[in-house]
Amino acid sequence: MKGSLICAGLGLAVSAWAQGPAFGTATLAASLTTPAPACVAQEPVANWDAAAQLIAGANSAAYAASFSNEQKSAWADYAKTATADWGRLKRRYVDHIAAWRGKYLAKSPVASVVFYPFSGPDATNPLAFFPDAREYVLAGLEPPGCIPSQAEAFTPEYWPALRQGWQSAAALGFFKTDDMKHDLAQGNAGGVLPVLLFLISRAGNSIVDVSQIGITPAGTVAASADHSPAQAVEVHGVAIRFKDAQHGERTLRYFAVNLQNSRLSRRPGVAKYLENLPAGATLVKSASYLMHRRYFSQVRGIILAKSNLVIEDDSGVPYHYFDPATWDVRLFGTYDTPIDLFKEWVQEDLQAAYQSGDGVQPLDFGISYKWRPGESNLLVATRHGK
């Protein structure tokens, strides 16, 4: 493995990435005003799984001997809360997806690669919807980030800051773009890595290793580092290899990239990389209706050209792009209008399809912006012959 994603000290490792109506805004300690040290590539972490288990609030044994009593107490409080939060998310959301998948996707094509654009640090949904995939490709605006490199850097203030990173996703099932833009993109010790490790570990996986990667102008994935010259890689990312007893080893790759047409034109390697992915599945949710806009037509076209299976809510590829000559489309849940923030992106043809009731199936869990059960929708499009 090449340089590891660790940071020389703490500062603010993860901030208030995603606050939703189920949680108030937490008041963090005064230490958050301390500038965060830079994330640097150092020697490989000796045991990435132990670090991930610590961050997940699951096991601190590898660090206990180095922790002060104050650190131990702070982590124990965090672990109790993290376990309760994840338990609620699993019962309310993840378990329902598993049951829905078993009922409605049993005959869908098996995807070895899953593309999840506009994902942020959301590892939960691709793992829940596509547990049999071998590779997950996520894309968001937030930097890859780091974790502390030394035990003393896991100060008592680290844990409430870390919980802020995933608590509203646990409550609502999505990360809020404005919060991530403010908190994840600022501070050298920010980024998605801690939340990715938390969610992958809590899903029952052990972490094999973590490495810095990037996409080259030729459209290939290469080892990278924060200081890589622009001609070496166009965008930076992180690769997390993980495994469990049922599925074996899998890889999640996250890239910090803007998928707008004008940005992709300046980074042709990114488009090449996406176009050269094996045909597989695409997941889209809570995507701010970006692909309803003409200046996100390139990534929309890649999805329609490369996917054999698309699972999305109404914020993804507009309904009218799924030509019945090419796609078999199934609708789940209910659709009326988007939330007020996105009310301009109402789809009248999708409204009509739901109102007809023709083949619309129930959806017993909430997902995306209308996260309460009974308000959400999903579209499943399968390419004919797959």
Specify the residue for token string 């309310």. 92
Q: CA-based diameter of the chain, in Å?
A: 65
Question: Do 12 and 77 fall within a single domain?
Answer: yes
Question: Do 325 and 218 fall within a single domain?
Answer: no
Question: Do 44 and 135 fall within a single domain?
Answer: yes
Q: How would you classify residue 120: left for phi > 0, otherwise alpha for psi between -120 and 50, otherwise beta?
A: left
- Per-residue tens of pLDDT for the chain, all 386 residues: 333 455 433 222 222 223 222 222 222 222 233 334 334 333 456 789 999 999 999 999 999 999 999 999 999 999 999 999 999 899 999 999 999 999 999 988 889 999 999 998 999 999 999 999 999 999 999 888 888 878 888 889 888 888 876 665 555 544 444 444 444 444 333 578 998 999 999 999 999 999 999 999 999 999 886 555 656 899 999 999 999 999 999 999 999 999 999 999 999 999 999 999 999 999 999 999 999 999 999 999 999 999 999 999 999 999 999 999 999 999 999 999 999 999 999 999 999 999 998 899 999 999 999 888 899 999 999 999 88
Question: Do 257 and 351 fall within a single domain?
Answer: no
Rounded Cα distance between 144 and 226, Å, is: 9
pLDDT, position 168? 58
Q: Are 91 and 364 in contact (CB under 8 A)?
A: no
Question: Do 214 and 326 fall within a single domain?
Answer: no
Question: Do 302 and 187 fall within a single domain?
Answer: no
Question: Do 168 and 117 fall within a single domain?
Answer: yes
Q: Are 374 and 343 in contact (CB under 8 A)?
A: no
Choosing from 255, 278, 301, the residue where a domain stops is 278
Choosing from 245, 278, 311, the residue where a domain stops is 278
Bridge partners for 284 per DSSP: 312
Question: Do 96 and 225 fall within a single domain?
Answer: yes
Q: Are 349 and 278 in contact (CB under 8 A)?
A: no
Amino acid at position 195, single letter: V
Cα angle at 9 between 239 and 119, to 5 degrees? 35
Total count of domains within the chain: 2
pLDDT, position 170? 54
Choosing from 221, 255, 278, the residue where a domain stops is 278
CA distances from 193 to 32, 237, 298 (A): 19, 10, 27
Question: What does pTM read for this prediction?
Answer: 0.87
Question: Do 226 and 356 fall within a single domain?
Answer: no
Taking each helix axis from N to C terminus, what angle separates 297-306 and 268-275, rounded to the nearest 10 degrees? Answer: 20
Question: Do 239 and 341 fall within a single domain?
Answer: no
Bridge partners for 7 per DSSP: 39, 148
Question: Do 315 and 359 fall within a single domain?
Answer: yes
For 359, the domain range is 286-386
CA distances from 55 to 71, 136, 171, 234, 246 (A): 13, 21, 19, 30, 23
Question: Do 92 and 169 fall within a single domain?
Answer: yes
